Amino acid sequence: MLKPIIALSAVALVVPAVAQTPAADLQQVQQHLRGLTTMTADFVQTDRTGKSLSGTLTLKQPGKIRFQYQKGVPLLIVADGGALTFIDYQVRQVQRWPVRNSPLGVLLDPSRDIGRFARVVPGDARLLSVEANDPKHPEYGRITLVFARGGAGPADLALQGWVAIDSQNNRTTVRLSNQRFGGPVSDSSFRWNDPRRR
C-alpha cells in the first residue's frame, strides 16, 4: 500500500537562476508562511516507486492540516495543531508523532525562523524552492517546498507542492493545484474517527 505524504516538491521543475538574493527569498517565504491563514487545494502524491494517489488538502494555521485521499483509499493524514496522525482504516492502525518532528513542521509552524534551518535551492526564476531540515535531528527528514512567484497567496507566493525525504531516504512528492487562500475552514475539518474503537 502506498504510504502517505510527507514530501512534496518540484525538484524536477527546478532550472537556472533566481531573481533575488537567498536571504530576501527566505524572508519572502517566511512572510508567506506567517501570512497564510488557510489554504485548500487538490493534491497528487507520488511515492518513490511511482505510485500516485490524489485527494484534497485543507490547511489552517497554526498547525492544522488534512490530507483527504480519493474515494476508495482507506488512508487519512491529519494534524490537529500538535500531533500529525496517520490513520489506516483498512488495518485499523493509528500512528502519531509531533508535527515538529516531521518534514511538514516547517509548513505548519510559521513562528519558527526558517533562516536557521532552510536554504534556497537555485533554479527556475519563476519558482522559489526552499529546502528545510533540522541538522540536529536528521531523523526528522528533509523537505523542499516549491512556490510559484507572483502567486495569489501571501507575499505574492503560491505553494506548488513539496518533496519530502524521510530518514530512510524514501522520497514522496506532493503537487498541488486549484489552491485557494484565506477562505473559511472549520476546526471540525481536522477531526477524525479512531478505527481502533470499533
Q: Reply yes or no on whether the pLDDT at 126 is more than 80.
A: yes
Q: From CA 166, how far away is CA 137, in angstroms rounded?
A: 11
pLDDT of residue 117: 87
- Write the pLDDT tens digit of every residue in 127-162: 999 999 877 878 888 999 999 999 899 999 999 999
- Binned at pLDDT 50, 70 and 90, residue 176 comes out as very high
Q: From CA 33, how far away is CA 14, in angstroms rounded?
A: 21
pTM metric for this prediction: 0.85
What percent of the chain has a predicted confidence (pLDDT) above 90?
66
- Binned at pLDDT 50, 70 and 90, residue 119 comes out as very high
Grid cell locating 16: 537556472
Cα dist from 85 to 26, 68, 93, whole Å: 29, 12, 10
Domains of the chain: 11-181 (2.50.20.10)
Q: From CA 112, how far away is CA 97, in angstroms rounded?
A: 18
Q: What is the mean pLDDT of residues 49-74?
A: 96
Chain centroid to Cα 44, Å, comes to 12
pLDDT of residue 144: 96
pLDDT of residue 66: 97
Q: From CA 24, how far away is CA 169, in angstroms rounded?
A: 30
pLDDT of residue 184: 96
